[in-house]
């Protein structure tokens, strides 16, 4: 993990969570492609909801940023950042491929 990413504050984690949650909305835009896609978009909607609920429960949600911030421990924070960054990177890769190949 890069030293710069370890210095992201609570506001940075909230922004990263928000970005990850918004990425799920890209999938929602493609709902009209049949039953299999409907099942897949439902699964993504469930994951988006779980991510939002989790963000609120650990105190990094923008609606309740200081409620119960259990993420601010040295052994948890790097893992949370890594997970959220991986989600963001997956969607960035998908967006780049869509732009390039349609």
Predicted local confidence at residue 6, as pLDDT = 47
Predicted local confidence at residue 2, as pLDDT = 47
| Selection from 97, 79, 89 nearest residue 20 by Cα | 89
Predicted local confidence at residue 55, as pLDDT = 85
DSSP per-residue string spanning 81-96: HHHHHHHHHHHHHHHH
Tokens of 30: 């493609």
Say whether pTM exceeds 0.75. Answer: no
Averages of pLDDT over runs of 10 residues in the chain (102 residues) are 52 81 72 72 88 84 64 84 88 75 62
């Amino acid at each position: 993990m890069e030293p710069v990413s370890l210095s992201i504050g609570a506001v940075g984690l909230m922004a990263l969570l928000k970005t990850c949650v918004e990425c799920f909305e890209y999938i929602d835009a493609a709902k009209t492609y049949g039953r299999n896609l409907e099942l897949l978009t439902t699964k993504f909607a469930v994951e988006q909801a779980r991510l939002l609920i989790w963000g609120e429960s650990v105190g990094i949600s923008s609606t309740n940023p200081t409620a119960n911030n259990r993420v601010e421990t040295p052994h948890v924070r790097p893992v949370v950042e890594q997970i959220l960054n991986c989600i963001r990177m997956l969607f960035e890769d998908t967006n780049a491929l869509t732009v390039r190949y349609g």
